[in-house]
Amino acid sequence: MNREEKSFRFFPGEGEEELFTGEEKCSILLGQTKTGCVREESRCTFPRQKGERRSGRRLQQSINHMKAVIQRVTKASVSIEEKVVGSIGQGYLVLLGVAQEDTEEDLKKLAKKMLDLRIFQDDQGKTNLSIEDVGGELLIVSQFTLLADCKKGRRPSFVKAGNPQKAEQMYEEFLAECQKRIPVVEHGKFGADMQITLVNDGPFTIVLDSGEL
């Protein structure tokens, strides 16, 4: 039986990144299944196996990175058991989430971008000044829930967050990195049940992801 041969690209199944692209020879191409197979009549030309290596490239899962929610405030404070443990005037309230794959490079990139942002108003009312320009202060609070995965079900999963030992170390290093440039860096207590009070100025809120910087 004569067959018409065509070249095609392999597309991974749902929820996978397209990190494998290759060309294969197959008979008339009918379509793609959810498992990433290409079917000709009733059989697969080649199924995708987890971790399978084709053309020297391995399928990989997406990587998560450090995230920060930055709120421009006129004042903010954090309390533990009704006792204020950190407070600032004008500056940033920062909620910081550490992922398991984060490195020192991630925290340095994120800290630099955050401190370089020009989101304070100048004399003409334009957002043209950085936190250093206005002598602003920082209140940084750990927030592992920023790494929540809400894709399945109704209960968030936090498996993408860094383990407590690593996350606390990265959090402390992030504080130290910010203290190199900002004289006043207040913070909460890692892993504690905290209550935050703030006055968001604007409101003005920005979300940074070290993987996008």
Point out the residues that are catalytic: 143-145
| Helix and strand numbers, DSSP H then E, in the chain | 2, 15
Give the residue ranges of DSSP H helices in the chain.
104-116, 164-179
Contact present, 164 and 44 (Cβ < 8 Å): no
For residue 175, how many other CB atoms are within 10 A of its CB?
A: 18
Give the C-alpha separation, 28 to 41, whole Å: 9
Contact present, 105 and 213 (Cβ < 8 Å): no
Residue 176, sorted as left (phi over 0), alpha (psi -120 to 50) or beta, turns out to be: alpha
Residue 104: HSE in the Cβ half-sphere, 13 Å Cα cutoff = 3
DSSP code at position 94: E
What Rg value do the Cα atoms of the chain yield, rounded? 24
Secondary structure (DSSP) of 33-54: -TTS-EEETTEES-PPPTT-EE
